[in-house]
């Protein structure tokens, strides 16, 4: 049975309908509102969002390219199950790219950039103290986005976003279990900032490498018995 999206049609001014539909559908996959393996209908989604089937179909295609949906001719469209192989590949590629970003940020940074990064770390400390996981995760993404902006590598943002879809679903599972690495993340971000402050590119890259070296943690989550039905053992 197909699962429809709850909520109203997108209404953000200035954003193309196709992008708004894509963002809404992607968020429902990342948040696990749509469970891995669930069948989804273009017609039902279009009706729920108040749009034609064209932007929904386009979104499904984009999300299939990101590994978040499976489009099966003569069968339908499904939310992809989580693949350890795909998660592993995404983590490794992101790690390599963000190491380069951190090194370049150390070279490009200005005084204002250091203040912005420290402000984000301070806010993350507040979010952790309040136990606000969603806010903490938002600030985490802002920290990494700020590094990309400082490094003047906008293409990295698009590539990393495409890589993170399947990774973020595992993060959602982890957060649903009440587990977090807030203090470790804050310490890692501070190490990255300290290296950038010194304009030490190799040290910044090394700090980022240590920060994103979390394959074992993700493997433990994916292979836990309670999520077995959401996971496949190989990339589709």
Tokens of 189: 């971000």
pLDDT at 6: 38
3-state DSSP assignment of residue 39: strand
Establish if 236 belongs to a structural domain: no
Whether residues 129 and 174 fall in one domain:
yes
Whether residues 123 and 216 fall in one domain:
yes
Q: Any idea what the CATH number is for the domain that residue 52 is in?
A: 1.10.10.10
Q: Any idea what the CATH number is for the domain that residue 203 is in?
A: 1.20.120.530
**Residues 3-30 pLDDT 10s:** 434 344 444 567 889 999 999 999 999 9
Asked if residue 165 lies in contact with residue 67, where contact means CB atoms within 8 angstroms, the answer is yes
**Residues 137-191 pLDDT 10s:** 899 999 999 999 999 999 999 999 888 888 888 888 877 776 678 999 999 999 9
Q: Is the dihedral of CA 212, 217, 223, 228 positive or negative?
A: negative
Query: Which residues constitute the domain of residue 34?
Result: 17-80
168 vs 63, more confident = 63
Establish if 2 belongs to a structural domain: no
Whether residues 109 and 198 fall in one domain:
yes
DSSP state of 16: -
Whether residues 124 and 220 fall in one domain:
yes
**Residues 197-209 pLDDT 10s:** 999 999 999 999 9
3-state DSSP assignment of residue 235: coil
Whether residues 73 and 95 fall in one domain:
no
Whether residues 88 and 54 fall in one domain:
no
CA–CA distance, 99 with 116 (Å, rounded to integer): 20
pLDDT at 13: 64
Query: Pairing relation of β-strands 69-72 and 76-79?
Result: antiparallel
Element spanning 93, H or E: helix 84-108
Establish if 231 belongs to a structural domain: no
Establish if 11 belongs to a structural domain: no
| Predicted TM-score of the model (pTM) | 0.80
pLDDT at 137: 87
């Amino acid at each position: 049975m197909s699962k429809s999206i709850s909520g109203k049609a997108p209404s953000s001014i200035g954003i193309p309908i196709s992008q708004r539909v894509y963002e809404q559908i992607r968020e429902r996959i990342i948040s696990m509102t749509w469970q891995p393996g669930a069948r989804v209908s273009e017609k039902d989604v279009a009706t729920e969002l108040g749009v034609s089937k064209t932007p929904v179909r386009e979104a499904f295609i984009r999300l299939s390219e990101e590994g978040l949906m499976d489009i099966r001719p003569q069968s339908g469209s499904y939310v992809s199950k989580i693949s350890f192989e795909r998660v592993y590949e995404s983590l490794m590629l992101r790690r390599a790219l963000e190491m380069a970003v951190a090194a370049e940020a150390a070279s490009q940074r200005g005084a204002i950039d250091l203040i912005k990064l420290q402000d984000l770390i301070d806010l993350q400390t507040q979010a952790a103290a309040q136990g606000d996981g969603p806010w903490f995760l938002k600030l985490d993404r802002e920290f990494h986005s700020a590094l990309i902006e400082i490094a003047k590598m906008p293409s990295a943002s698009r590539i990393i976003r495409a890589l993170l879809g399947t990774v973020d679903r595992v993060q959602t599972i982890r957060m649903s279990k009440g587990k977090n690495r807030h203090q470790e993340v804050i310490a890692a971000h501070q190490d990255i900032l300290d290296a950038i402050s010194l304009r030490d590119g190799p040290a910044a890259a090394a700090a980022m490498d240590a920060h994103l070296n979390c394959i074992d943690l993700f493997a433990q989550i994916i292979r836990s018995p309670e999520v077995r039905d959401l996971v496949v053992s190989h990339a589709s």
